[in-house]
Structure 1
Amino acid sequence: MPRPLRVAIGGIHIESSTFSPHLSTAHDFEVTRGDALLARYAWLSPVAAWAADVEWIPLVHARALPGGAVEPSTYDAWATEIVEKLAEAGPVDGMLLDIHGAMSVVGRDDAEGDLVTAIRAQIGPEPFISAAMDLHGNVSHVLFDNCDLLTCYRTAPHVDVWETRERAALNLVEALRREERPHKALVHVPILLPGEMTSTRDEPARSLYGRIPDVEARDGVIDAAIWVGFAWADQPRCRGAVVATGTDPTATAEAARELGERFWAARDEFTFVAPTGSMDECLDTALGAISEPTRRPFFISDSGDNPGAGGADDVTFALDRMLARPEISDGAIRAVYASLVDPEAVAHVADQPIGSPVEVRVGGRIDPRDPGPLELKGTLEAVAEDPDGGRCVSVRVGGLSVFVTSRRMQYRLLSSYARLGVAVDQVDVVVVKIGYLEPELFEASGDWRLALTPGGVDQDLVRLPYERVLRPVFPLDRDFTADLAVVTR
């Protein structure tokens, strides 16, 4: 009987905006090791048939809500731990690299490339590495060269996260059993697009990603993947990418070429997933629509400070525009603002009795862009513990409930609103720091607008001060011919 395969699992998972002043530190990450790390993967509990004769070796996995660039010492500690545990584990046949793909580390241009280089230096050239990634990640030449298999999500919003990780693991195990290093092909597509233009609910992303199963089913192809890339980092690696892997070099290269050309050909078809406007324009639309019951609750995405993409989560611009509306501040309109991170403000009011009048300064501590910190004068409406946001409070100002959290979080689940006493179907207007609406909010919304607000993940890319991305790149540049060369290994 052949010996069991030995496969290590680990990674660092975060997307980081270099345009956000937020600094991601160890405090922002959830870290798993040992049995707790293995327990994350459904194919190991119970063990799937294809995984049964594999010795799975847990290293360390660190995962955080998107934020600003990662503190170097934080990254170095986990990268070192991964390498040291690989050394302790002895020879391995392969590694599942569980990453996002858009991590930025202060002072480094290609964090995932740095990580996989360190891993490869430890395990040597023979073991196979399979990377599972977010489609909003980046594929640098260094990452491509050091991985044998790469795959990414095929949906946005991401409802196939765990399916993708299992596919990456299965592809790895099957390649190891064939004892044949896969062929691979890469096409870089010179496009920068915000995720809110590339939802797979809508065209052209729906059809583009919808082609993948057919391409993958071709003889000689193992996997095909399309990365939109990450638009909110000013690094040379940031751009679209297509990677195909396979057992036949010609079929693999053709798959990458075909998808890369289709991606580029569709560049002018990508549009925002909802009607857009300034914050004031979106408020005008929302307030004009609430007399129509089918359009309530009316959601507005405060997209420029979306913590789900790396925003600081404390820009007060959208809140300031809400408070300027008399119909909201005098209570005629019931509204929610979700949310601002400000642990100091939470600590200042959370221990007071519910119903107490409060005055508290909120926001603008991390990202102080105009108008900066705001003074809230209202009533303490609710206090709750949230698994994502920590201790949270709701301060009522007229008809507006302002949620303030102790940790950065994204109000994407209805249960998070309910903890602070809000049923969104009883609200007229909900402004939430998010981009495209996550599934629960999308289903709950009567209508929706995407506000092009300022912040570290500004959706209007031409407003961002890019200096280091490779040019030309669409849409910063439009009149050029793309180099869609296929790189094979």
Structure 2
Amino acid sequence: MTRIAVGGFLHETNTFAPTKATYDDFVHGGGWPAMAEGTNVLKVMRHINVGLAGFVEAAEANGWEMVPTISCAASPSAHVTRDAFERIVKVMVDGIKAAGPLDAVYLDLHGAMVTEHLDDGEGEILARVRKVIGKDLPLVVSLDLHANVTPQMVEHADALIAYRTYPHIDMADTGRAAAKHLALLLRGQQKFAKAFRQLPFLIPISWQCTNDQPTKGIYQKLAALQSEAVPTLSFAPGFPAADFPHCGPSVFAYGRTQADADAAADAMTKLIIGHEDDFDGRIYTPDEGVRYAMELAKTASRPIVIADTQDNPGAGGDSDTTGMLRALVRNKAQRTAIGVIYDPASASSAHAAGVGATVTLALGGKSGIPGDAPYQETFVVEQLSDGKFVAPGPYYGGRDMDMGPSACLRIGDVRVVVSSHKAQLADQSMYRYVGIEPMEQSVLVNKSSVHFRADFEPIAEKLLICAAPGAMPADTAALPWTRLRPGMRLRPNGPAFAAATHLPSRSPAIG
């Protein structure tokens, strides 16, 4: 029987964000499944929208025996701590080392992990795995669409395969695609030629959405270019908030011949660069967005949905800034809701006060974002929750969620979801679990950039993007970059990066 070692370790790192990812963050998951080890991995990774879950399904259909190591993820944030990285990777690598005879290894990684001691978290993981398994054993990896792919990642993996949707409704499908490519490697006993291209400009995440052009058309063309000669082709727009030389978009192709791989990669690169002008759109200030939404709501039959994009916990924000809440209250918004504001202390105070009570709080604003502060006001406690529920929408795909002690607070006619754990508001259930029915609101403000669209676009009259204070600027050129590749444009058609000094990468030798 074919034996495959499997594991998953995912983190999207915003090096400008206020809070690091600790080991405990990976144990909890923060909107991802909780950490699992050994046989528990195969119990957790089923029937959910995660790359490893899709691979498990396909592997079982192929009759492969899987040797599970570890699976874990944490909400995007600043750097992964050295302690968390080393403890998790040790379990993964030791599990592969102890697995006995193997035919291949599959890993579900993000592709944009930066740690306290490494620029290229995934490159280091793959190097350590490759050292254990040798140069000949197939090593296939699924990646997030926001991967900042590096030469080291390409070198050590036999295939990197990225999601093709944002919102990421195809994470499990990408795991299945990785299994399909691995089957080709196992049958053919021959590796594919690789082609890797890095693009010359950063793409803000709001304009990476695959529901819209130009990205929608780019992925349609990508699918058309895939063939027997080029069985795997990926475009990763990148996560534009990691301050290291390999941050940015990339294309990677695997072909029967080097010429096949190069032709596909070059065609995609030319296509994407040709659309540089199109990665752009309208972003509103908080007051502009709220007033426009209120005006639209007068005649709308469905909610107006606003993305609080700069405080997106899916991009490293702490999900606790108060700029959009202040704008809703300041403009006397009616039948509106905002979520999720991460504030364990306020949630605890609401639970202590009880339903129907009034509480005076310093809500949110605790992450030290410039231009933001706690919102000191009196709220009515409308509903309480233990924070446990299922998120059935297309993005979370049926995951068990644990937001910790949570509350619905009301000020005027504005309702606020307050939680004790953070995860981006990308599912309607994240309002319903504290008693707010999304369809009954005139305006919804979601702390998310794009993932919310998978579940909210079908119920929305119109979508708007607002830029209130937060850790992930809508304009990537606004970040204080110091270590990008010289000449990299900081946004489409933006200024080119020029470092005063070129700092060395942080990539220790493999010991």
| Fold conserved between structures, TM > 0.5 | yes
The AA in structure 2 aligned to 1:34 is: G
Q: Does 1:394 align with 2:408?
A: yes
Aligned to 1:446: 461
Q: Distance in 1 between matches of 2:183 and 2:59?
A: 14
Distance 1:377 1:306 in 2: 25
Deviation at 1:137, TM superposition (A): 0.6
Q: What one-letter code is carried by the residue in structure 1 that aligns with 2:241?
A: W
Higher strand share: 1
- Partner residue of 1:14? 11
TM-score between the two structures when normalised by the length of structure 1: 0.91
| Greater alpha carbon shift after TM alignment, 170-179 vs 134-143 | 170-179
1:202 to 212, 215, 218: 212
The Cα shift of 1:339 comes to 2.1
Matched, 1:298 2:304: yes
Q: Where does 1:186-265 land on structure 2 (aligned, <5 Å)?
A: 186-217=196-227, 219-265=228-274
1:18 touches 1:234 (CA, 8 Å); kept in 2?
A: yes
Q: 1:318 aligns with which of 321, 324, 342?
A: 324
In 2: Cα distance, 1:368 partner to 1:479 partner: 25
1:401 CA displacement: 0.9
Structure 1: distance between partners of 2:474 and 2:491 = 13
- What's 1:36 paired with? 40
Residue by residue, what CA displacement relative to the aligned partner does 1:431-471 show, whole Å, maximum 9, x if unpaired? 11111232211112122210022211111112111111113
Verify the 8 A CA contact 1:20 1:367 in the aligned structure 2: no
Task: Tell me how far apart the structure 2 counterparts of residues 405 and 243 of structure 1 sit (CA, whole Å).
Answer: 39
Deviation per CA, 1:287-333: give whole Å up to 9, x if none.
22221133x411111110101222111122222222322x23xxxx1
- State the number of aligned residues: 468
Provide Cα deviations, 1:89-114, integer angstroms capped at 9, x if missing partner. Answer: 13422211101111121232111111
Q: Alignment partner of 2:352: what SS?
A: coil
1:286 match: 293
* Mapped partners of 2:495, 2:307: distance in 1: 33
Distance, in Å, in 1 between the alignment partners of 2:492 and 2:298 is: 43
Opposite residue 237 of structure 2, the aligned amino acid is V
Q: What amino acid is the match of 1:247?
A: R
Residue in structure 2 matched with residue 354 of structure 1 by the alignment: 355
**TM-aligned CA deviation for residue 36 of structure 1:** 3.0
Decide whether the 8 Å contact of 1:381 with 1:395 is kept in 2.
yes
* TM-aligned CA deviation for residue 27 of structure 1: 2.4
- Out of 463, 474, 477, the residue aligned to residue 478 of structure 2 is 463
Retained in 2: the 8 A contact 1:314–1:367? Answer: no
**Match of residue 500 from structure 2:** none
Cα distance between partner residues in 1 of 2:447 and 2:74: 17
CA contact (8 A) 1:101 1:138 kept: yes
Given residue 7 of structure 1, which amino acid in structure 2 is its aligned partner? Answer: I
Provide the residue aligned with 1:98 in structure 2.
108
Shift in Å, 1:45? 5.0
Q: Aligned equivalents of 1:368 and 1:225: distance in 2?
A: 35
Partner amino acid for 1:213?
A
Match of 1:85 among 78, 90, 95: 95
Structure 1, 108-117 or 169-178: larger mean CA deviation: 169-178
Q: Is the 8 A contact 2:379 2:409 kept in 1?
A: yes
Match of 1:334 in 2: 335
Q: Find the aligned partners of 1:299 and 1:61 in 2 and give their Cα distance.
A: 34
State the shift of 1:64 in Å: 1.9
Aligned-partner Cα distance in 2 for 1:24–1:449: 30
Alignment map for 1:105-116 (pairs within 5 Å): 105-116=115-126
- Rounded to whole Å, the distance in 2 between the matches of 1:403 and 1:380 is 11
RMSD: 2.0
Cα distance in 2 for partners of 1:44, 1:447 equals 38
Aligned to 1:118: 128
Q: Between 461-470 and 312-321, report the one with greater CA deviation.
A: 312-321
Q: How far 1:213 moved relative to its partner?
A: 2.2
In the alignment, is the contact (CA less than 8 A) between 1:299 and 1:449 conserved in 2?
A: yes
CA distance in 2, matches of 1:248, 1:285: 54
Amino acid at match of 1:474: R
CA contact (8 A) 1:279 1:452 kept: yes
What is the identity percentage for the equivalent residue pairs of Structure 1 and Structure 2?
Answer: 27
Q: Distance in 2 between matches of 1:236 and 1:43?
A: 31
State how far apart, in whole Å, the 1-side matches of 2:8 and 2:57 are: 20
Opposite residue 355 of structure 1, the aligned amino acid is: G
Aligned letter for 1:153? Y
- Determine the structure 2 residue equivalent to 1:420: 434
Q: 1:442 to 1:243 in 2, by over 3 A?
A: same
> Which amino acid in 1 is paired with 2:323?
F
> What amino acid is the match of 2:38?
G
Corresponding letter in the other structure for 2:273: W
Kept after mapping to 2: 8 A contact 1:349/1:360: no
Spell out, residue by residue over 1:370-407, the C-alpha distance to the aligned partner (whole angstroms, 9 max, x if none).
23112130211111122231211111111111211000
Contact 1:334 1:399 in 2 (8 A): yes
Mark the CA change 1:410 to 1:44 in structure 2 (over 3 Å): closer, same or farther. Answer: closer
The match for 1:485 is: none
Cα separation, 1, equivalents of 2:275 and 2:54: 36
Q: 1:139 to 1:47 in 2, by over 3 A?
A: closer
1:334-360 Cα distance to aligned partner (Å, 9 max, x none): 211212111111112213221011111
* CA deviation after TM superposition for structure 1 residue 48, in Å: 4.8
Contact 1:320 1:371 in 2 (8 A): no
The answer for the alignment partner of 1:26 in structure 2 is 23
1:308 is paired with a residue whose SS is helix
